[in-house]
Each structure stands twice: as structure tokens, then as C-alpha cells.
Structure 1
Amino acid sequence: MFGKLLKRSKSTGTRKPDFQRGLAAFEAEDYAAAVTDWMPLAEHGHAEAQYRMGQLYARGQGVVRDFGDAAHWFRKAAEQGHVEAQFSLGLCYANGEGAPQDTALPVRWYKTVSKASPPTAEANLALLYPNGLGIGPDIAQALHWYRQAAEGGHAEAQHHIGLFHAYGQGVAQDVAAAADWYRRSAEQGYAIAQHALASLYANGQGVERDIGQALFWYGRAADQGYVNSQLALAIMHEHGTGVPADPAKAAELYRLAAEQGHPVAQVNLGLLYARGHGVPQNYAETLKWCRRSAEQGNVNAQFNLGLIHSNGLAGAPDYSEAAVWYRKAAAQGNVGAQVNLGLMLAHGWAGRPDLVEGVDWLRKAAAQGHAGAMTNLGALYANRDSKAHNPIQAYVWTIMAAAATQPGPDRDGLEAKAHELGASLGSEDRHKAQVIMEEWKKNPKSMAVA
């Protein structure tokens, strides 16, 4: 906010402002000295100094951080045709940075004082915030300033204009126009736009589908280290999309992205090691890369860690550790993890059995239509030695398992078992079973509750 700058010393208060001296101070991280030189220049219309003051206010360097004042100086420079300032001002409007917050202390103070003395409050508010409390989101203004910067050749602004057209924000949705803007940005070497343009070519959106062009632009971005393009290229090489399948090349690209921390690349690289595709089979490497991915919350990696530990693929089987990772994946809705965790708990493979929780996880998987979960529920409920024994539920889940199974011997066996279970029920119990199944058809998720 204006008026909250560091005080100038007597020795510097009368010297002539100098932009380059301010730049040297900024680069030395002496932001207060930079302000001393740049503020007078900005006030006298120096566009670059205005832009720099906007940056300082946005970052809170040498001044009290205030996006309203940042936007003020960005606008001053933008109106003089400063391309970076135009883009920065567009960002302010797109993000609503500096918008007033009801919980901010000055706002609460203003609201309190305004009740007692409106004129005093207004006067003090003007002193505290000469350019307002900030700016709220304004897509039209954001689009205006992005376009100004884009037409001035700003690559990132061109990409943003493409995004506006791609998603129909402030303009009619027009993916072809988005592709044109992405291309202008991509041709300047902006990696994110190169990736976006490649994705349009890969999917035939706004342009004719052209895998060759997709590979070209993904490659340009990947060469700059853009992790999403490295991943996209790896997948294309692994599966032979537009190129001969090359698992070794895929592994190389996955590794580049994995080493940057991309969780999908990490788990995919781990699975190549598990299968020995493009790399020597090595479950220790699978374990390493899946763990890195799983620790970032990747559900597929968590599920695969459960498989590795439960099957002893990287050492002795460790059901307790498997249960930890299955639980994490199951909580995110992974149906395979829900089934495996449910069976481990129901049968006590990871320690003392917990039938209630085990059944609960199997029901959650069944609610997603998993035939194996239904089959196992039917078996648990049919087992007379199990505490879960319930003839009605056994009949219900076996019938539903049969309906969810593809025609063939497995389905025939389930139908025969269901007939056997139904024959042992009285008419009242068969009616109860019918009611349960009808409720299932209305709302499968209700069946997830034991």
C-alpha cells in the first residue's frame, strides 16, 4: 500500500532516481533500495518501472504486499503497451487477486467505524487503500488484457487465450480457435502450449487427428523437460500409438518423468520392471517406484504395493503391510483393493479376523458391480461355520453374482448354487430376498452398508 515504504535516508532522499541502479539493487535483493529508485520513475510514467513496482507489490518485496496496488501499477504500464504488464494484469483479473476479504482486519475495522462515522471511515479507507481493496475476478477484463499481451507476442498470454477458447470462458467455446492460439505460443517454444496442441492433435479436437503432429509437439515439450509430455510420449511408445511399440524407449521416458516426481510415470515405470518390458525384470525396482508414487496418493500404485506385499514379489509375503496399502487404495474407491482387503480381513490373513470390516469392504466393492465381491459375499453368508452365516443374504448375493458374471461355466455354477440356496428358504424368506434385490436395483450403494 502506498505510504508504507521504507523511509529514505537523508543521503539518498535527494539523489536522482535511476532505473538501472534500482535494477542492481533488486538483483542484490535490496528491495527497499529498488523502490527508492523505481517509485519516482513509475509516478512519472516510466512503463518498466511501473511494471516492476507492480511486481514488488504483488510479492511484498520492499513494500507491504497489496494486489490492489500491484494491479494499479500493472495497469499504468499495460496502458502504455507493456506486454508483460498486460499479461500480469490479466492474471490479476483472472484470479481475482487482491479481492477484498471479509475476515481481513482493515475490512472489519472499516465496517465497524462506518457504522459510527461514515465520512471518517471513507476518508481513512481511501488513505489505507488508494487503489481500492483489490480487484475481483473479471473474465472480460482478463480476456482483454491477455489478448493485448498475446497480440504483442507474449507466448504465455497466447496460451491463456487458447484456454479461454478451449473452455468457453468469456467467449464461445471454440477448440479450433484454441488450437490456433496454442500454435502461436508453441511456435515460440512455450512448452505448456506445445503439450496442449499435441493433445488436440492426439484426440482430433479442433484439428484433424494427426498422431505425427502429436508426437512432434509432445517431443518439443518433452525435450524442454515438460513432465506431462514425457509421460504422454512414454505411453505412446509403450502401447505403439503412432510409432512401433518400444518398451525400452517408454521406460526411458517414464524414468525422466518419474525422476521429476510424476506419480503416474513412477507407477508405470514400476510396472515395466514387474513385467520385464524394456527393462530387466526387477521387483525391487517395482517396489521402489510404486512406493514413491503411492506416497503421493496414487491409487494404482497403492493397489500394486498391496499386491507386491501380499504375494511376496519383493521378499517374504507381508500381509500387514499389504493391508496398509490396500486400505489406502480402498478408501479412494479402488474396487480391487476393496475386494482384497475385505478377504484379508474376513479370513484373518493379516492377523486377527475382522469379519465386520471385511464384509463392509466386500459390500463396497459389490456396490461397484464387482462380481467377485458378490461371489465371495455369497460364500461367506452361506458358510454355516461363519459368524456371518445368513441364508437370505447368501441367496441374494449368489443370484446377483450370477447376473454380474459373463455366460459360461462360472455363471452356470453360480446359478446352480443360487437355486440350491433358494430351495432351502421358506416363501417368506424368499420374499425378503426379493425385496432386498429390488432395493439393490434402485440404489446399489445402499448395499454397501452391512
Structure 2
Amino acid sequence: MGRQSKVSWYASFFMVLLLASPTLAAEAIVAERLQGLLYSTSGPAEYRVARPAPEGMDVTVAGCLRHASRLHAARVGPGVDLEQLDAPVATQACQAALKVAPDDPDIENVLARVQLAAGEYQQAEALLNKVAATGNSFALYGLAKLNLEPKYQGGSSTKYIELLEKAVSLGDAVAKTDLAQSYARGFGVTKDVFKAEMLFKDAANLGDARAMHHLIGLYLREPALTLNDNSFEVLSEYARQGNLQAQIGIALHYLAAIAKPRDDAKAFQLVEGAAKLGNTDAMILLGSMYAIGRGVERNEQEALAQYRAAADLGDPMGSYTAGLLYLTGLGNGPTRVDQDQGIAHTYFVKAAELGHVRAFSALGWQYAEGKGVERDLQQSWHWYRKSIKANDPEGLNGAGVLLGNSPNAEQQAYGMQLLKRATVLGSLRAAENLKLFCAKRRTPACD
């Protein structure tokens, strides 16, 4: 049911409130990470397979397309692990497939993604440009994402936006959602929440499930929209069509007293109803309501039970939030959840294996600090590298600090580059860390 892109805002909305509670002795790094979730748009997009391998397809072509399941979480599916990609084998399979089906755009897109994952940016760019020249929006989207790679020379937010706009002009719903995200937070463009709203609506109508969830978050954090737009009516219309995410959005309206007077009991009723229908997004929000006692008597164990239930259904955010609860512990009464950073680690690993971006940075932090695991800087870097590839601001910050403290000058410079990237993406902690490092040593990232 719910995936990371669907639930990150819902869970973070209440986890941020939960974290503000004086009864939760949370680590500062976790506090920052949770607060960052509220405005994060860096997680994987709704899953979209490039092309399935039809029955009877030539084995070499099918072999290449099967490798797509390891390429790009934003376009493929759960369980993506770029670190496990065998680039030489994947390249060989796709090159063999191109001999069977020369100039096939889907195969070329897959091969380009293999090259991109392997850090072969020039080859990937050349191949994506070739496919994009035929009017292929998937390739244009790939070129746009290439501009966000930290090690790609010549990338820029301006090029990123230009390429997204080209993909959007060809009717690409996923690119339209990403463009809306850029306008929502002012990345590469002047912030314009009204244009973001319009793009999110269009993308939702074109079939990108992410767009609805980002639209809900936009309504709930942008007063200008709630004062000048019929956001509650929009969500109500989607809810009448059976969209449980819109139902959750209505509940959040009641919780935040935006379009309707605050009514925690009504919100709890809506969320509980969606949870009983097996919606993991609702389970996670319901857990957060139990955690802080909104609309129901506070019960930390019930909160944990809801998170774990979502996790058991394969929801990466369920695993991640269960991990956070174990990482910090919660409560002082008979229903308290005791801190157990070892169990937290288990849940973070489970979430990471399902592609949850924030779990990557949580694991990187655990290994760097020796929290719940033996301190292991190599393992820390292993997980932070995944955050870097996902362009996650908090992961970029963690990796930047890790490298910035290295005795190696080249690693220090790269670490400061990562901190600058995280700062551009809105991480206040990264901005503070960059300032501290620049006070000690000057690099181009300080300019």
C-alpha cells in the first residue's frame, strides 16, 4: 500500500510534534532529521518500470530489462540497491540486447542508467542525449537527474529545470511532479506555491500517485493556499472517489485547524478507518497520534504496534518510524517504549533494504557514532554513499561531516562540497557545519 513517497509527510507531521515533547530524550541529530522530513522532497518517486519483458521476448533483451530493477528507485521499484549493481554484467547484457534490437529506446535508457549508476557520466549523458533527441521524455528526465549528481561536471539547477520542463511538455507526469516540487521549495526557480499547486494537480490527473501526497503537504504548510484556495474541497472530491490518501489529508486539515476547526476526534476517526482498511500510510499516522495523544489517549506501545504493523506489510516508512522510536525511546509511564538502539538498527536496515532514503542516513549516523552497533567508519560511508546518490540533504550533511573530518585533503574538499550541496537543498545543519569547516580551511565550496 503505502510507500516512502506517500507517507514521509504524514508521518513526519506528527513525528515532529512528537519530537517536541519534553518526554522524548531524542538525540539532536534525530531531531534535525525528523524536522527535515517536513520539507523533504528528495525521496524516491512513485515507482515506474521502464518496460516489462513480455513473454517470449528474446532472452538477451529480457536480461537487460531485468537489470532495470536495480537502477533507479524513482522509476523502478522497491528493493533498489545501487551498491549491489554489477555494472559490467549489466552493461554487457544491455549491449547484447541492442544487437538484437538496435536503437531500442527502452534498452538504451536502461543502459544509460547502468552507466549513470556506475559513475560513467559522459557515456550516460551521450546515450541519454541520443534518446532524448527522439522526443523520449524518460531520457529527458534522466538527463535532468544527471544534473543533480554531486560528481557530475557541469550540472546545475538551471539545466535541471530546463530539462524537466522539456519532459513536462511531452506529457511526462513524473517530471511534472518533480517540477512542482521545485516550485514548492524554490529550487532552481523562484518559489511559487500557486504554480506548484497547479502542477501537482495536473500530475495527479495524469496518473502520478506522488502528486496527490505532495499536494496534501503543500496545502498544510502554505497558509497562502489555504486562505485563497478550496484545498479542503479538492481533497474531499478525491476522497469521495475512494482515495484514502485524500481522506488522510482531510484528517490532517482537522488536526491542524486549517480549512476546518480543529477536531482531533474526527481526525482520529478518519485515520483509524483508513488504517483498518489496510492503508499503511494511515497506520503510521495513527501510530503518531497514539504517540502524542492526539484524538486518543496516549499509548506509546500502541504507537509502536501501528508502526510495526506497517513495517510487517512491507512499508519502508513503517520500518523507519519503528526504528526511530526504538532509537530514542518514548514515554515514562506503563506504556512506555524503552530505548533499544540495536533493535532500531534492525528496523533501519529493513527500511534501507526497501529503498528508504532517510534510513540510509540513519544507518550512516549509527555506524559513525557507534549507536546500537560497533563504530565502523567504512560501514558509515557505505550507507552515506547511498544518501549521496539519492541526493538526500541530511545524508549529504552526514557524509560531508564524515569526510570533512578526514585527514585527507581531497576527502575534506569533497566533504565540504557535499555540505554546500546539502545547504542548497535546505539543510540548516549543513549550513552551520559548512560555516564551521570554512572557518578552519578554505575550499571552493566556501565561495
TM-score by length of 2: 0.44
Compare relative contact order (CA 8 Å, sep 6+) and give the higher one, 1 or 2: 2
Q: TM-score, normalised by structure 1?
A: 0.44
Choose 1 or 2 for highest CA Rg: 1
